[in-house]
Amino acid sequence: MAPAEMSELKKQLEELLSKGFIRPSTSPWGAPVLFVKKKDGSFRLCIDYRGLNRVTVKNNYPLPRIDELLDQLRGATWFSKIDLASGYHQIPIDEGDIR
């Protein structure tokens, strides 16, 4: 990784750590990090999880289709919503699964 990219990586990781989106890990698993240049010239941090995905045990059930879920809401009176502005950074991980 070029020195400029390493500096940007450190900056972005420090920001994610300070926001509590990531934490230090001692897991034996990892994934390579790369940057994609955005239209405005800044860099988007990307992680290549393909290797990790190859060894991950898959769920035995498919995710429900959105149209089927919406059909189930017919006649409902109360609804809740989820704010996905921060995407997966909002999904808590069970403490027992963290190394």
Residues 32-63 pLDDT 10s: 998 898 999 888 889 999 999 999 988 888 88
- Residue 25, by phi and psi: left (phi above 0), alpha (psi -120 to 50) or beta? beta
pLDDT of residue 15: 92
pLDDT of residue 88: 66
Work out the mean pLDDT of the chain and round it to a whole number.
86
More confident residue, 81 or 66: 66
Average pLDDT over residues 84-96: 74
Q: Is the pLDDT of residue 96 over 90?
A: no
